[in-house]
C-alpha cells in the first residue's frame, strides 16, 4: 500500500503545481535516489493515473527509462485496458534493451492484457536512413498510431546521467556540457531555460507534436533530478507530474 498521505505531501503537491504551472502534481513519500522502493511507488502512481484517464480504444504512447520500467512492473489487468493499444513513443535511443520504450510498452501491454505495436528502428540513424525508414509501411503504421495517442507517458532524465548511460560520443558529451544541458526527455536535451541544445536522431513522437488535448503523464523522481524536472516542466506541456518528496523539496528549495 502506498504511504502517500504522510503529513505535508499534499502541501508539496499544491506548491509544486503552482510553481511549475502544471494542472496536477502527485508526490510520493521518500527520495528514489536513496530508496529503490520509492521508484516502485512512482510506478504505482503512474499506473493509477493512466487508469483514471484511459478510455476504451485509446492509444497510449510510452517512453523508456528505469522509472517507466517500474510502472510496467506495477501494471495489472483491468477491464479499463480492454481495446487499448500500447505504442513506444520513440525508436531506440542507445539504451539497454530492458529500458527501451519498445520493451516497456510491450511489457505494460502484456501485463494489462492489452495489445501493442513495436517500432523496429535501430539507434544512431543518419538523417537519410531516418527519412527512408519512416517511409516503411510497418514503421509508418506505428507513427500513424502514435499521432492519435490520447495518453503519453514519459520520464525525464538528468542530462549528464542520460548522456553517460547512452552510447554518446565524446564530442556530443562535451557539447552538452558547454551548452549547459540539464534535462533530457524523448531524446531531446535542454538547458535550464528549456531551450533544446540537442535532439537524438530517431523516429517517433516529436516534442512539437504533443497536443493540448492529450493527457501527458510525466514521471521523474529523486533529488538529483530537481534541476532537470524544473527545466522540463516549466517549458513543455504536461498534464500530470508524478514525482517524489526528494525531488519536490529540492525543486522548491532551489528557488
Ligand atoms: C529514457 C527516456 O529512456 O528515460 C527519456 O527516453 C527519459 O525520455 C529517461 O528522460 C529517464 O530515465 P530514468 O531511468 O531516469 O527513468
Q: How far is the CA of 156 from the centre of ligand 1 (A)?
A: 5
Q: Are 248 and 226 in contact (CB under 8 A)?
A: no
Q: Are 240 and 17 in contact (CB under 8 A)?
A: no
Q: How far is the CA of 101 from the centre of ligand 1 (A)?
A: 9
Give the span between the Cα atoms of 77 and 86, in whole angstroms: 14
For 102-112, write each residue's pLDDT tens digit: 999 999 999 99
For 17-57, write each residue's pLDDT tens digit: 999 999 999 999 999 999 999 999 999 999 999 999 999 99
Lowest mean pLDDT segment, chosen from 36-50, 207-221, 240-254: 207-221
* Nine-digit cell string for 157: 532524465
SS3 116: strand
Which atom, in ligand 1's list, is nearest to the CA of 220? 16
Q: Which secondary structure element, helix H or strand E, spans residue 40, and what is its range?
A: helix 36-53
Q: Which secondary structure element, helix H or strand E, spans residue 225, and what is its range?
A: none
Q: How far is the CA of 129 from the centre of ligand 1 (A)?
A: 24
The radius of gyration of the chain's CA atoms, rounded to the nearest angstrom, is: 17
Give the span between the Cα atoms of 78 and 246, in whole angstroms: 31
Report the predicted TM-score, pTM, of the whole model to 2 decimal places. 0.95
Q: Which secondary structure element, helix H or strand E, spans residue 156, and what is its range?
A: none
Q: How far is the CA of 62 from the centre of ligand 1 (A)?
A: 11
For 2-16, write each residue's pLDDT tens digit: 544 455 899 999 999
Q: Are 202 and 121 in contact (CB under 8 A)?
A: yes
State mean pLDDT over 55-73.
Answer: 97
Which residue ranges have their beta carbon within 6 Å of ligand 1? 63-67, 93, 95, 99, 154-157, 162, 184-186
Amino acid at each position: 500500500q502506498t504511504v502517500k498521505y504522510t503529513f505535508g505531501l499534499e502541501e508539496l503537491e499544491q506548491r509544486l503545481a503552482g510553481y511549475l504551472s502544471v494542472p496536477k502534481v502527485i508526490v510520493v513519500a521518500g527520495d528514489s535516489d536513496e530508496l529503490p522502493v520509492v521508484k516502485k511507488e512512482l510506478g504505482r502512481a503512474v499506473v493509477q493515473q493512466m487508469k483514471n484517464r484511459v478510455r476504451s480504444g485509446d492509444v497510449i504512447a510510452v517512453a523508456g527509462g528505469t522509472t517507466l520500467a517500474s510502472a510496467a512492473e506495477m501494471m495489472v489487468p483491468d477491464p479499463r485496458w480492454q481495446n487499448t493499444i500500447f505504442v513506444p513513443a520513440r525508436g531506440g535511443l542507445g539504451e539497454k534493451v530492458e529500458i527501451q520504450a519498445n520493451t516497456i510498452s510491450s511489457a505494460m501491454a502484456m501485463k494489462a492484457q492489452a495489445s501493442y505495436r513495436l517500432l523496429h528502428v535501430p539507434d544512431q540513424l543518419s538523417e537519410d536512413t531516418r527519412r527512408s525508414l519512416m517511409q516503411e509501411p510497418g514503421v509508418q503504421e506505428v507513427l500513424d498510431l502514435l499521432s492519435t495517442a490520447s495518453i503519453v507517458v514519459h520520464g525525464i532524465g538528468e542530462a549528464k546521467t542520460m548522456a553517460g548511460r547512452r552510447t554518446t560520443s565524446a564530442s556530443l558529451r562535451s557539447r552538452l556540457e558547454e551548452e549547459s544541458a540539464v534535462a533530457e526527455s524523448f531524446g531531446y536535451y535542454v538547458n535550464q531555460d528549456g531551450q533544446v541544445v540537442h535532439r537524438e536522431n530517431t523516429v517517433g513522437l516529436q516534442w512539437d507534436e504533443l497536443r493540448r488535448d492529450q493527457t501527458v503523464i510525466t514521471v521523474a523522481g529523486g533529488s538529483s533530478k530537481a534541476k532537470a524536472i524544473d527545466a522540463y516542466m516549466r517549458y513543455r506541456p504536461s498534464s500530470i507530474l508524478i514525482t517524489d518528496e526528494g525531488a519536490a523539496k529540492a525543486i522548491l528549495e532551489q528557488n
